[in-house]
Amino acid sequence: MKDLDSLGLMKIYKLSTYYKDKYGFRVFKVGLSTGIECPKRANSSESCHFCVKNTFIDTGLESHSCNGRIHQSHKSYNITEQINYLIKKLKQKVKAEGFVAYFQDNTSLYGEPALLFSMFSEAAEHPDILELIISTRPDFLPIEILDKLTYLKKPVTIEIGVQSVNDKSLLFLNRGHTQEENQKAIDILMKYSFRIGVHIILGIPGETLKDIDKTITWINENEIINDVKIHHLAVFRGSKLAEIIAQGDIINLEDYIKLLTYFTRKLRKNLTISRLFTSNLNRNQIMLNDFPGDKRMWMNKFIDRS
């Protein structure tokens, strides 16, 4: 990969700025769970190779959901209690005035449609919730649920775990879907008025700048995509990825920031960016990447390159 040091960075439009522009005050996401296992784990022998599920869901939610028991058949998974718990927690940390219900874990459009829609409706009816974000896989976009979501009185964003447009990378990550399915997902969502976001992973072994350019071009050409959530390929101890990746292929902070700079400066300017680094919400796993410090320090290094 050629030297990226000389590349400049365009000014990115952060999702937080988008919400501030829209509502006039600070808006924060509250990460909710449907409690339903991801289909990749439920229906196959292996999850995605990078996945360690207790790094991205607040473990405190378990005490606010069906007595701590999570299973697909439950009907008492209390979305309102989750929202209230997380809003209280956020208000103790930051001056938050508005909130977005973010169904972020597993595959939030996987499950019995009536049960899922009841959860989404419950979130939309909460007085402190301004919008909903629902994260899913490109191969789980049930029309029955998408149609019903159009009747909610709050705006909805659908996030798709694209990760890469390169099939060799998707195979390495054990995603269980292809670029063809990524495009089919976008084609389905073109029929709706939802805001659309995509998740992208940078630092996948074997991806060249030419490969990354393909992902950038695909995002830019699919104009219904409004938001990009960028992750570095975090290698957590206990993941399948930690077993199969060579130590020399684990991206470090300096190289990732160079790659992130390259990626963001080529995206079209009307896209919002909702994430730049992979986080470990519960800080209970060791990330094998050489990323010293914390996210604030990482962001400062990124800003220094602009």
Q: What's the chain's Rg over C-alpha atoms?
A: 19
Q: Is the pLDDT of residue 284 over 90?
A: no
Helix %, strand %, coil % of the chain (to 5):
40, 15, 45
Mean pLDDT value across residues 8-13: 67
| Nearest residue to 234 via CA among 304, 281, 166, 168 | 281
Give pLDDT tens digits for 207-228: 999 999 999 999 999 999 999 9
Q: Of the ranges 26-30, 234-238, 284-288, 295-299, which is most confident? A: 26-30
> Residue 3 — pLDDT band, cuts 50, 70, 90?
very low
CA torsion, points 180, 186, 188, 194, in degrees to nearest 10?
Answer: 160
Which carries the bigger pLDDT value, residue 60 or residue 306?
Answer: 306
Residue extents of the structural domains in the chain: 13-304
How many angstroms separate the CA atoms of 94 and 83, rounded?
16
How many angstroms separate the CA atoms of 170 and 259, rounded?
19
Q: Of the ranges 38-47, 202-211, 231-240, 278-287, which is most confident? A: 202-211
Q: Is the pLDDT of residue 194 over 50?
A: yes
Report pLDDT for 295: 86
Residue 234 has, within 13 A of its CA and on its CB side, a CA count of 21
CA 68 from centre of chain: 24
Task: Provide the CATH topology of domain 13-304.
Answer: TIM Barrel (3.20.20)
Contact by Cβ (8 Å): 76, 66: yes
Contact by Cβ (8 Å): 142, 109: yes
Least confident of 15-29, 75-89, 131-145: 75-89
**H helix runs in the chain, sequence order:** 15-23, 39-42, 79-93, 113-125, 143-149, 167-172, 179-189, 209-221, 240-244, 253-266, 295-304
Mean pLDDT value across residues 250-261: 96
CA distances from residue 193 to 2, 54, 116, 141 in whole angstroms, order as listed: 40, 32, 20, 15
Q: Is the pLDDT of residue 127 over 90?
A: yes
Report pLDDT for 64: 46
